[in-house]
């Protein structure tokens, strides 16, 4: 590749100037600069946002944006595969990709989307702390594989995600090579934890004090453990870990460190723990019993064939093995729990494709690179197998598929040879013949099978394989040791593996006693990590899969997952072994270029085409750029229509026509089409909006017309239904006793409210007419007077005599005035003859206030012509006569008293209190007087006669002067009487 783009010296100059990215087609080649670069800020993000791949200089942001646009435009799942050897910068590249995707999404700053982005970004910090370590080749080497799916909604906003982790190098927990460190989390805790925190965990801030961290205690590293610890604590809180969960995480780390410091001694018969105080600390940190911890470390519970359970003591060697296995398993379970806890937070919740649209995915793969150490063990074997599978995927998608597509489509093509590493993949994973199958067979074999026996089995079965060798197969190769080493010729180079520990690590043996111990912990977090601890010792379970088989299955699933997505590649190059920002090892870089297949990639890309798509898809996307294809073409085929588009834009020489697809050689031609399309889209959108809005308006108009038609029909129906209901309820009211008074009226619709009120009034008047028809003519005068009184008083007086017969002329009534009635009858006849009145409206005794402001007993006679004041003691002598026309109104109180004020036009009102006769001592005669006068004035004289019901003082004028009359109850008062007061008068009425 380097020779293709210039001399090695030119590449050194590019490296020194910080131009660390190069394109091969859509593959980004990234060289680790080993220094901070000022090319990842907000301005750079804005420069690459929404741009095509070749508009700006090569950058990680460009391929990130291309993957995002492909996902959003075409609703296709995409993935970004980051590969390269250890120390080439894969982890940093994945962080910058995540940073870019987070920066360009959610412009509206929706809270729930921001929360998802924060968790996705913060998860990197946590997983680096617990999954990365310093190696001799890399200060921040990923000791696990990570594949993260980021889910997006139809708007292109992240809605969640999922993290898969692969093969954590747990052996690093208990042993590291010279110059390397344990996982970052241990050193961050010991150097960054507060004194209070370390005291509670029974730790000290010196990694050299613990066996498991002693090797890396003095190792120089660029990691700042104290600052990193604070960042991890903050990230855990942001992600959503509770305080109890965070405490549990660090309690497990402390427990692992204390386990590593446990020492054992044997007296020949049994093994003892030297430091029982440390055991108490471990039991406290794991919320278990100290005796149970000791028992799990020193003994193994075994079930015999007869179902009997016995305890078998460990040897000192077995005890150390069990302790280390327990420590490794604790860390592995902790790491797996952290990943699952993060997944619980970021998983897409309540997703419904019908409601939320298509859910698309961008996958980011950051997995360990190809490794060649001085001592390569089981972990390096698995890691390099993983890289072989990824290289195979790269070959499949980039090289073989592309050349195969040219042949299928009939494109003239000169075939380019490349190395297909399928033979190496088969060497490792082929059933019954591959190395993994041989390892599994050795693990399942009954009896004492050692690593050496397993190596001999591989030598015999793989002797003819061109990519496998050992000292037995190559006796002259002194770089290999007998019964210890075997070598695989990987695509990236030859790797010598030490078979020591292969079977033990493949079996991944952990005594069941430790699982039960953790499952019975009082700490719910620990209990959750060890669900398999609930199995009884006598319970027979299926033999678990080996570590190599589990890893192989997970990698096969990963490759299948990547294979169904549109891939984008970032190939990371390590410029030197010294981690120097200025040293560029040309020979080493060319070696990486060769084994990464980049040379073949360059040749394929140079001879091939940058873009290919089915004619229908090309036409669908770019038909608006040509007058002959918009909106629909009339040509015989889609291919002819695509040719018309290409011809109009003048890049016929830059394309090739396949059987089903168009092939575009350079991205710039495609970029030209995209630019023109982008310019036309707003115009088309406006046109479509106009048409659609018109269609919506017409539809709305039709709907409104239909609505009003339905409303009109419904209103008519409601009116008719109301009439029908009224007719049904009142059909037989003529024959009922109350003429329908008790019938409940139905609630009318709004349009008939006024009509309903009128109808109710008409019915009431008809009902009244029916009642009145049955009243004798002799009672009609009394009925009219009572109706007049009812109307005039308007409920102002509770008792106004409606329930009794109104006699009117009480002075002439023998029953009411037995002693004086005869004399009054004689005087009444004389007055009739004299004044020519035709009717006595009212007569009765009263207590009246005279012109001297004194109260006296008088007789009151009201005819249809005059009002007479009579003296009962002098044969009803007429003391005063007042024309009836002089009366202008009448005032009464709202009580039970019988006080009445007759108002006159001369403002010399008559104040009196009606007295009850012998007919009934408790009769109310005020209502009768009011009704009689009102009826006479309104019906006979055709004028209004005002009636005022006073709730407090009664107001009147006497000889032109205003007076106020109040009513008071006086105990011991025998009859009502007036008393002069400052404002006028007080009517004293008897108390109860």
The enclosing H or E element of 890 equals strand 887-893
Among residues 105, 106, 142, 669, which one is catalytic? Answer: 142
Burial 930-939 (b: 16+ CB within 10 A, else e): bbbbbbbbbe
Whether 906 contacts 886, CB under 8 Å: yes
Tokens read off for 391: 């290289």
Q: Evaluate if residue 266 carries a pLDDT over 60.
A: yes
Q: Residue 178 pLDDT more than 60?
A: yes
3-state SS string for 402-457: HHHHHHHHCCCCCCCCCCCCHHHHHHHHCCCCCHHHHHHHHHHCCCCCCHHHHHHH
- 283 in catalytic set: no
Of the pLDDT bands very low, low, confident and very high (cuts 50, 70, 90), residue 5 is: very low
CA distance linking residue 775 with residue 890, whole number of Å: 29
Name the one residue in this structure whose structure tokens are 């390590």: 574
Upstream peptide bond of 474 is cis (omega within 30 degrees of 0):
no
- Count Cβ atoms within 10 A of the Cβ of residue 817 and give its class: 0-12 exposed, 13-18 middle, 19 or more buried: buried
Share of the chain above pLDDT 70, in %: 93
Least confident window among 32-36, 301-305, 439-443, 518-522: 301-305
Q: Which of 653, 654, 627, 655 is nearest to 639 (CA)?
A: 655
SS3 string, 563-623, reads HCCEEEEEEEECCCCCCCCCCCCHHHHHHHHHHCCHHHHHHHHHHCCCEEEEHHHHHHHHH
Q: Which residues contact 87 (CB under 8 A, 6 or more apart)?
A: 32, 135, 137, 138, 141, 369, 574, 579
Strands 887-893 and 947-950, bridge-based pairing: parallel
More confident site: 261 or 83: 261
Cβ(88)–Cβ(76) below 8 Å = no
* Catalytic, out of 138, 377, 421, 893: 138
| pLDDT over threshold 80, residue 397 | no
Residues facing 946 on adjacent strands:
none
Q: What is the pLDDT of residue 4?
A: 40
At 861, give phi and psi (nearest 5°): -130, 125
273-287, 555-569, 742-756: range with lowest mean pLDDT? 555-569
**What's the rounded mean pLDDT across residues 943-966?**
92
The answer to whether 562 and 79 have CB atoms below 8 angstroms apart is: yes
- If DSSP codes are grouped into helix, strand and coil, which group holds residue 883? strand
Element (H, E) at 165: strand 158-166
> Which helix (H) or strand (E) covers residue 280, if one does?
helix 276-286
Mean pLDDT of 299-318: 76
Active site residue 91: yes
Tokens of 59: 């950058």
The answer to whether 796 and 949 are in contact (CB under 8 A) is yes
142 annotated active-site: yes
User: Rounded to an integer, what distance in angstroms lies between the CA atom of residue 266 and that of residue 272?
Assistant: 6
Any catalytic annotation for residue 141?
Answer: yes
Distance CA 954, CA 897 (A): 12
CA 117 to chain centre: 15
At residue 7 the predicted structure's pLDDT band, cuts being 50, 70 and 90, is: very low
Sequence-ordered list of residues with C-beta below 8 angstroms from that of 933, at least 6 positions apart, any chain: 841, 842, 862, 887, 890, 945
Q: Which of 93-97, 229-233, 916-920 has the lowest mean pLDDT?
A: 916-920
pLDDT at 487: 94
Per-residue pLDDT tens digits for 433-452: 899 999 988 888 767 788 89
The gap from C-alpha 113 to its chain's centroid, in whole angstroms, comes to 10
Q: What integer pLDDT is reported at residue 50 of this predicted model?
A: 83
**Are the CB atoms for 616 and 660 separated by under 8 Å?**
no
Q: What is the overall mean pLDDT for the chain?
A: 86
Q: What is the SS3 assignment for 311?
A: strand
The one catalytic residue among 84, 89, 145, 369: 369
In this predicted structure, what is the pLDDT of residue 1?
35
Q: What is the mean pLDDT of residues 560-586?
A: 86
Q: Which residues pair with 154 in a beta bridge?
A: none
Quick one: pLDDT at residue 432? 87
Burial of 269-296, coded b for 16+ CB within 10 Å and e otherwise, reads eebebeeeebbebbbbbbbbeeebbbeb
Identify the bridge partners of residue 990 per DSSP, sorted by sequence position: 970
Question: From the candidates 26, 92, 371, 429, which is the catalytic residue?
Answer: 371
Residue 14: HSE in the Cβ half-sphere, 13 Å Cα cutoff? 19
* Catalytic residue flag (residue 86): yes
CB-based contacts of 685, cutoff 8 Å, min separation 6: none
Q: Which is nearest to 388 in space by CA: 605, 553, 555? A: 555
Phi-psi region of 471 (alpha: psi -120 to 50; beta: other; left: phi over 0): alpha
Q: Is 87 a catalytic residue?
A: yes
Residue in 30, 78, 83, 91 annotated catalytic: 91
* Catalytic choice (22, 25, 83, 87): 87
Q: Which of 19-33, 423-437, 544-558 has the lowest mean pLDDT?
A: 19-33
DSSP 186-207: HHHHHHHS-HHHHHHTT--S-G
H helices of 210-271, in order, are 211-214, 225-239, 243-260
Which pLDDT band holds residue 2 (cuts at 50, 70, 90)? very low
Do the beta carbons of residue 529 and residue 337 sit within 8 Å?
A: yes
Q: Report the C-alpha gap between 842 and 831 in whole angstroms.
A: 14
Q: Which residue has the higher pLDDT, 408 or 977?
A: 977
User: What band does 217 get if pLDDT is binned at 50, 70 and 90?
Assistant: confident
Query: What are the angstrom distances between the C-alpha of 681 and each of 144, 618, 625, 678?
Result: 46, 16, 10, 5
Decide: helix, strand or coil at residue 235: helix
Instruction: Identify which has the larger pLDDT, 798 or 965.
Output: 965
Lowest pLDDT segment from 112-126, 319-333, 412-426, 856-870? 412-426
pLDDT digits 0-9 by tens, 596-625: 767 767 776 666 676 778 888 888 888 888
Active site residue: 32, 86, 248, 546, which one?
Answer: 86
**DSSP three-state, residue 527:** helix
Give long-range contacts, CB 8 A cutoff, 24+ apart: 67-73: 67/362, 67/566, 67/568, 68/101, 68/104, 68/156, 68/362, 70/566, 71/152, 71/156, 71/360, 71/361, 71/362, 72/152, 72/156, 72/360
Task: Measure the CA angle with vertex 989, ends 984 and 991; round to 5°.
Answer: 140
Q: According to the model, what pLDDT value does residue 802 have?
A: 85
- Quote the pLDDT of residue 159: 86
Q: Band of the pLDDT at 510, cuts 50, 70, 90?
A: confident
| CA-based nearest residue to 510, from 271, 669, 323 | 323
Q: Looking at residue 366, what is its pLDDT? A: 83
The dihedral sign for the CA sequence 659, 664, 670, 672 = negative
550 has pLDDT over 80:
yes
Exposure letters 406-440 (e unless 16+ CB within 10 A, then b) = beebebebeebebebbeebbebbbeeeebbbbbbb
Of the two residues 51 and 227, the one the predictor is more confident about is 227
Question: In whole angstroms, how large is the CA radius of gyration of the chain?
Answer: 55
């Amino acid at each position: 590749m380097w020779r293709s783009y210039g001399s090695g010296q030119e590449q050194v100059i590019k490296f020194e100037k910080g131009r660390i990215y190069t394109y091969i087609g859509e593959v980004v080649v990234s060289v680790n600069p080993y220094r901070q670069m000022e090319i990842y800020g907000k301005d750079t993000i804005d420069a690459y946002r929404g741009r095509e791949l070749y508009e700006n200089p090569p950058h990680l942001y460009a391929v990130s944006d291309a993957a995002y646009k492909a996902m959003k435009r075409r609703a296709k799942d995409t993935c970004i595969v980051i590969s390269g050897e250890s120390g080439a910068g894969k982890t940093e590249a994945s962080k910058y990709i995540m940073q870019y995707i987070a920066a360009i999404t959610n412009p509206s700053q929706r809270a729930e989307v921001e929360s998802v982005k924060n968790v996705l970004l913060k998860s990197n910090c946590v997983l680096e702390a617990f999954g990365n370590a310093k190696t001799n080749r890399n200060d921040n080497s990923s000791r696990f594989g990570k594949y993260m799916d980021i889910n997006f909604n139809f708007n292109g906003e992240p809605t969640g995600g999922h993290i898969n982790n692969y093969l954590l190098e747990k052996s690093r927990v208990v042993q590291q090579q010279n110059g390397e460190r344990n996982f970052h989390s241990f050193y961050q805790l010991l150097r960054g934890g507060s004194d209070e925190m370390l005291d509670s965990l029974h730790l000290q801030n010196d990694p050299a004090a613990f066996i498991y961290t002693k090797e890396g205690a003095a190792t120089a590293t660029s990691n700042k453990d104290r600052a990193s610890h604070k960042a991890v604590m903050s990230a855990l809180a942001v992600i959503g870990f509770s305080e109890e969960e965070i405490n549990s995480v660090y309690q497990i780390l402390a427990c692992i460190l204390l386990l590593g410091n446990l020492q054992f001694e044997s007296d020949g018969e049994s093994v003892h723990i030297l430091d029982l105080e440390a055991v108490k600390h471990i039991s406290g940190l794991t919320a278990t019993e100290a005796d149970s911890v000791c028992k799990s470390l020193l003994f193994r519970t075994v079930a015999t064939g007869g179902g009997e359970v016995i305890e078998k003591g460990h040897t000192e060697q077995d005890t150390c093995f069990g302790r280390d296995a327990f420590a490794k398993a604790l860390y592995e379970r902790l790491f797996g729990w952290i990943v699952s806890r993060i997944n619980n937070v970021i998983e897409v919740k309540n997703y419904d494709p019908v409601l939320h649209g298509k859910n698309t995915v961008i996958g980011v793969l950051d997995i360990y690179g190809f490794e060649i150490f001085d001592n390569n063990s089981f972990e390096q074997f698995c890691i390099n197998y993983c890289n072989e599978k990824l290289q195979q995927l790269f070959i499949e998608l980039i090289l073989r598929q592309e050349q195969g597509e040219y042949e299928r489509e009939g494109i003239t093509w000169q075939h380019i040879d490349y190395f297909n590493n399928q033979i190496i993949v088969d060497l490792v994973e082929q059933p019954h013949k591959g190395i993994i199958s041989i390892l599994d067979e050795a693990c399942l074999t009954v009896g004492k099978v050692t690593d050496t026996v397993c190596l001999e089995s591989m030598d015999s079965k793989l002797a003819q394989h061109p990519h496998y060798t050992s000292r037995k197969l190559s006796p002259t190769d002194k770089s290999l040791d007998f019964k210890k080493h075997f070598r695989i010729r990987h695509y990236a180079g030859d790797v010598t593996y030490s078979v020591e520990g292969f079977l033990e690590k493949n079996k991944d043996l952990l005594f069941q006693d430790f699982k039960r111990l953790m499952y019975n912990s009082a700490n719910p977090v620990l209990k959750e990590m060890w669900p398999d601890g609930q199995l009884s010792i006598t319970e027979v379970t299926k033999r678990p899969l080996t570590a190599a088989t589990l890893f192989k299955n997970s990698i096969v699933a990963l490759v299948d997952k990547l294979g169904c997505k549109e891939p984008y590649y970032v190939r990371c190059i390590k410029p030197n072994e010294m981690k120097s920002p200025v040293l560029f090892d040309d020979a080493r870089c060319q070696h990486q270029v060769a084994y990464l297949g980049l040379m073949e990639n360059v040749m394929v890309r140079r001879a091939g085409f940058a873009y290919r798509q089915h004619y229908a898809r090309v036409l669908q996307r770019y038909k608006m750029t040509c007058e002959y294809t918009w909106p629909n073409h009339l040509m015989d085929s889609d291919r002819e229509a695509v040719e018309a588009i290409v011809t109009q834009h003048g890049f016929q020489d830059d394309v090739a026509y396949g059987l089903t697809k168009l092939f575009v050689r350079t991205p710039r031609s495609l970029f030209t089409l995209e630019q023109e399309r982008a310019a036309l889209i707003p115009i088309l959108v406006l046109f479509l909006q106009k048409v659609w809005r018109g269609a919506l308006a017409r539809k709305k108009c039709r709907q409104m017309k239909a609505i009003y038609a339905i409303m009109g029909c419904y209103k008519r129906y409601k009116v008719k239904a109301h009439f029908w209901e009224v007719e049904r309820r009142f059909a037989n009211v003529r024959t009922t006793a109350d003429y329908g008074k008790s019938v409940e009226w139905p609630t009318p619709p709004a349009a008939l409210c006024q009509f309903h009120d009128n109808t109710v009034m008409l019915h009431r008047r008809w009902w009244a007419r029916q009642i009145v028809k049955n009243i004798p003519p002799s009672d009609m005068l009394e009925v009219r007077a009572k109706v007049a009184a009812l109307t005039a008083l308007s409920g102002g007086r509770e008792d106004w005599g409606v329930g009794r017969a109104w006699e009117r002329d009480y002075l002439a009534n023998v029953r009411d005035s037995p002693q004086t009635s005869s004399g009054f009858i004689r005087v009444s006849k004389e007055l009739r003859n004299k004044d020519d009145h035709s009717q006595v409206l009212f007569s009765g005794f009263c207590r009246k206030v005279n012109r001297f402001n004194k109260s006296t007993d008088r007789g009151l006679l009201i005819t249809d012509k005059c009002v007479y004041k009579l003296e009962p003691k002098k044969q009803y002598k007429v003391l005063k006569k007042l024309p009836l026309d002089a009366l202008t109104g009448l005032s009464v109180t709202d009580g039970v008293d019988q006080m009445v004020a007759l108002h006159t036009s001369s403002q010399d009102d008559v104040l009196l209190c009606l007295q009850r006769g012998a007919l009934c001592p408790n009769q109310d005669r005020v209502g009768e007087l009011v009704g009689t006068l009102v009826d006479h004035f309104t019906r006979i004289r055709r004028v209004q006669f005002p009636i005022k019901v006073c709730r407090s003082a009664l107001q009147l004028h006497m000889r032109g002067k205003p007076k106020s009359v109040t009513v008071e109850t006086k105990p011991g008062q025998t009859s009502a009487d007036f008393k002069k007061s400052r404002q006028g008068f007080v009517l004293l009425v008897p108390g109860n």
